[in-house]
Amino acid sequence: MEILQIIIRLLCYFLFIGLSFQLLISLFDWSKLIKYPSEDAGRLRLFILFLSVGLGSLVASFVLTILDLSLRLFVSFS
């Protein structure tokens, strides 16, 4: 049971980090925020990656906490 929880947590983190990366790439026009987008493309992509890791981890932590609380609530009533 514990290995299943670890796999679910890992997949949840990867899913939300990937989802936030795709949203940050497609949602904003990053070329309007920087002066020379062709020269700073690598640094901008790394910055977006760091933002997506932070945002995805935060969302995954929230979802996993809600799942854990609902599981505990379900177990306590049964």
**Greatest alpha-carbon span in the chain:** 60
First to last CA, the chain: 19
Instruction: Provide the 10 A C-beta neighbour count for residue 60.
Output: 21
Which amino acid would we find at residue 8? Answer: I
How many helices and strands (H and E) does the chain possess? 2, 0
Q: What is the pLDDT of residues 20-53, one digit of tens each?
A: 999 999 998 887 877 776 777 888 889 999 999 9
Q: What is the model's pTM?
A: 0.85
Residue with tokens 């987008």, as numbered in its chain: 37
Is residue 60 predicted with pLDDT exceeding 80? Answer: yes
